[in-house]
Structure 1
Amino acid sequence: MKKLTCAVMGALMITSVLAGCGKKENTTTAGNEGNSQVSQTQESSSKSEEKSTSQSNDQLESQISIFNGFTAQIPKGYTFTGGGGKIIYNSKDKTDIYISRSFDKKSVLPLTSVTKETIVESISQLLWTDDGISEQINGYTKDVPVTVASVTDTEINGIKMKKFEGKLTLAKSSSDKDTTWDCYIYGYVLEAGPNTVGFFGLEQEQSQSADKIELIKKNMDAMAKTIKLI
């Protein structure tokens, strides 16, 4: 009788151990499933970021354009011209334009010394000496009044820049300086080779509509992300 009791208890213990082992294996499987779900989520997030980057690049030409000390891609449907500076424009609608130009006399100015005042001076007095640029501006372009509302430090793809926003005032002509309108400006300043370069967008349409302002920001930010120093 004692032997039978011991045999039964032994069988129960073996069954219990086997059942416990089965549960442990199930727990491990569940953990693997959890890790798999996390991995799938991370992969999905990564693909989403790649898609977003691709969509951003879709608005730019695949061909790289060469500027003063750097290269960048420009918006699709746009082209550029200019001598000492470059101007990017859409021949179908020239109200939004984008300008790259060194600070000339301020070309050796380090980025850390760039202020609202130096940006104002560069755009107001030096920008319009390039015929390729001034020919694309709808208004009198000499000694243009400029106001810079903000300047902030930023870094894009390892390149330190100053981002700025403001306005400049155009007059109808040299003989009609009373007819004026303010134009939105938005862009970046960076050190490109030996030069300190301004790269910014200008909305010169008198109505200054919100969608045009947003287009300036969208195109300018997209181009800035493709800048590479040369």
Structure 2
Amino acid sequence: MSKQLTSLLIGLVVVLLSAACSGNGGEGEPSSPSQEATAPPFAEAITEITLDNVSQIHYLGRLDQPGTPSTIFAHALSPDGIHLAGLTNDLFIEWNLVSGRRVFTTLRDRAQYVYYTPDKDHLFTIDDRGNLHLYTAALGEEVAAFPAHIRFNGAIAYAPDVGLLAIGGEGGMVRVWDVLAQEKLAEFSAFAVAIETMALTADGELLAVATRDGFVRLWDW
């Protein structure tokens, strides 16, 4: 094969590859990528969601939101694994994971965090002002509301097995609550500055408190 023919064939291959990659009929200008991502179409569950298969990785089904769907930015799983509660932009929703149906839907009311109590019969939320709202898990009825911390800054620790909540604030003050009893068990100054984050041991007896400058204190409150 002559060098001229080889060069011609190579050139033809390059032209064909360029046309194929451009995706615009071979006009020589690259096509612009799509600016919108299309969500996959809705598909019904392959099988009913049950306690036996809820922990499996493969697709089981979809839990729908009423109205326009939005991000679920906080959620909690009930102690028995049957219910899931979530906070969207506007709503507070609980689903039954066995049936896949909604148990209740109510207004979010500025809630930032959601948790279940150890008896699994109640849920509670903490709003951005430090107020605690207690609800029934069966109907979503609010049964109590009280200020858990008046200078709340987002620092929370919860021990779900015993239902103890530690909540911190800007001035370094910590309050510890028995949520179901609606009883404040302790109040103390952990630091003289704002609290960044906290963690409770599983039994709720020890509390680690950290500040933004990296200091940590462990409290046997």
TM-score over 0.5 for the pair: no
Higher strand share: 2
Q: TM-score, normalization: structure 1?
A: 0.27
Calculate the TM-score normalised by the size of structure 2.
0.28
**Greater Rg, structure 1 or structure 2?**
1
Greater fraction of residues in helix: 1
